[in-house]
Amino acid sequence: MPHGHDAARAVAQVAGVAVDTRHWINGERVTSPDTFTDTSPIDGAPLARISRGGAAEAAAAVDAAHTAFPGWAQTNHTERARILHAIADGIEARIEELAAVETADNGALLRSHRRGVMPRVAHNFRFFADWLLQLRHDDFDTRGHTNHISWDPAGVCALITPWNAPLMLATWKVAPALAAGNTVVLKPAEWSPLTASLLADIAAEAGLPAGVLNVVQGYGHEAGAALVRDPRVARISFTGSVPTARHIAGAAAANLVPVSLELGGKSPLLVFADCDLDLAVDLAVEQFDNAGQVCLAGTRLLVEASIADEFTQRLIARTEALRQGDPRGEATDIGPNIHPAHLTRIDSFVQRALAAGARALTGGGPNTDLGGLYYRPTLLTDVAPDAEIVTEEVFGPVLTLQTFDTEEAAVALANATRFGLAAALATGDQERAHRITGQLVAGTVWVNCFFVRDLRAPFGGSRHSGIGREGGTWSFDFYCDLKNTVTAPKGWLTRG
């Protein structure tokens, strides 16, 4: 596996930012014999030729992480936290660059990257650095013996991340894994790998020792598969599809490696007649965020029949007023979808639904005025309760609308999929909200709000939406080996 000697040829200019297209392994840039093309969803233009890793690169990265682990694990908490804060400083210094590169790479709104996403990326590091310093469990007594709980670093962590929020979701995993004292091999999605490379530069500049963070680029069935099979890997965290998760879980099972899986959803948004209707429509429109490429999105609108007509009219008007176009434009509300294959997948779902009797109240196909990867925000009705379009994740700007007459019917519809990631409801009745949230199968439920996330809270899904919870202490529970040390009372004699 050659190291890159001609660095200039391995650097791409993306949105005016120099991005190294090689892997980052053991504190060095490393090339591969093969490459793949990374293209922009905005206009289909090629952005860079990316080093295409496989088994050799994955093994080299695990070697580096395995070697670096003892030193990083023994680094005291204060120093670990200091370096993580330095990484956050580096991110904040480059927010404009990171935002511009990520928008070019995955097509999400530039204004969102600038104002929300990249500040959250920095916060991921600050939060887990600070949480590390206050992580503790009160000692407790057992017949005079003291029990002391500690979190020991687990080892090498394989982190495989998706394309819809590349840097935010990567750092959601990288930050707690590093804070816990582990070393990391990050495999970003091949459709949006660029900001992971910039993160490697920022971490190195912040003083993170060589081998503690490694970045291997490539396809999931090559680099990713080799990575999760490596018996030296101690933890695997993956965000992505259910079929891929099954392969990862099988590889992890062979080595008895704990996994954290976040696998998307088909979340409901329940709208009751006693709600603030303006708020309910606002919440529904928000589900088109990031061109519908949000795992938490409440794409199934479940509306009480008595207000369905008025709700629908307002929602159609608001949806048709959304401005679709270049995500770099300040006034743009919806940008492109990520890749031609994904756009085809989205449209195939919609066309099958229409052929089965569904009706498009607005949208229903690609935006032919814009061409490329722009899909019109779509609202479908007249869908059967068991239709594919309401049971399978589309991951695009496509909502379905169903009605109900009773709470019991609303809950039954809400829980009628194999997923259980999130849910939202709009109601003016606090008792009803409490009643219903207790019945919904979901890892997160929002009442009269959406996408409010605090890193102190557990995050994850039920059923096919995933395994495990991360956030706050739950992240350290996953990325560490928990230990209980039991000490006899003072004065007890030991045997000589």
Catalytic residues, which ones? 262, 295
Alpha carbons 180 and 131: distance in angstroms, whole number: 10
Provide the residue type at 465 as one letter.
Answer: S
Residue with tokens 């429509």: 281
Sign of CA dihedral 271, 276, 277, 283: negative
**Regarding beta strands 28-30 and 422-426, do their DSSP bridges make them parallel or antiparallel, or are they unpaired?**
unpaired
Cβ-proximal residues to 254 (8 Å cutoff; 6+ apart), any chain: 229
H/E stretch holding 431: helix 430-437
**Regarding beta strands 268-271 and 300-304, do their DSSP bridges make them parallel or antiparallel, or are they unpaired?**
parallel
Provide the residue type at 475 as one letter.
Answer: S
Alpha carbons 304 and 289: distance in angstroms, whole number: 24
* Token code pair at residue 495: 């045997």
Alpha carbons 180 and 183: distance in angstroms, whole number: 9
**Regarding beta strands 466-467 and 259-262, do their DSSP bridges make them parallel or antiparallel, or are they unpaired?**
antiparallel
338 DSSP assignment = S
Alpha carbons 129 and 179: distance in angstroms, whole number: 6
- In angstroms, the Cα distances linking 176 to 80, 129, 182 are 11, 8, 9
- In angstroms, the Cα distances linking 187 to 53, 125, 197, 213, 258 are 10, 19, 10, 11, 18
Cβ-proximal residues to 91 (8 Å cutoff; 6+ apart), any chain: 98, 118, 121, 122, 125, 199, 202
Alpha carbons 189 and 132: distance in angstroms, whole number: 28
Count Cβ neighbours within 10 Å for each residue of 41-50 and write b for 16 or more, e otherwise. Answer: bbeeeebbeb
SS3 track for 229-286: HCCCEEEEEEECCHHHHHHHHHHHHHHCCCEEEECCCCCEEEECCCCCHHHHHHHHHH
Please say whether the beta carbons of 446 and 423 come within 8 A: yes
**Regarding beta strands 233-239 and 259-262, do their DSSP bridges make them parallel or antiparallel, or are they unpaired?**
parallel
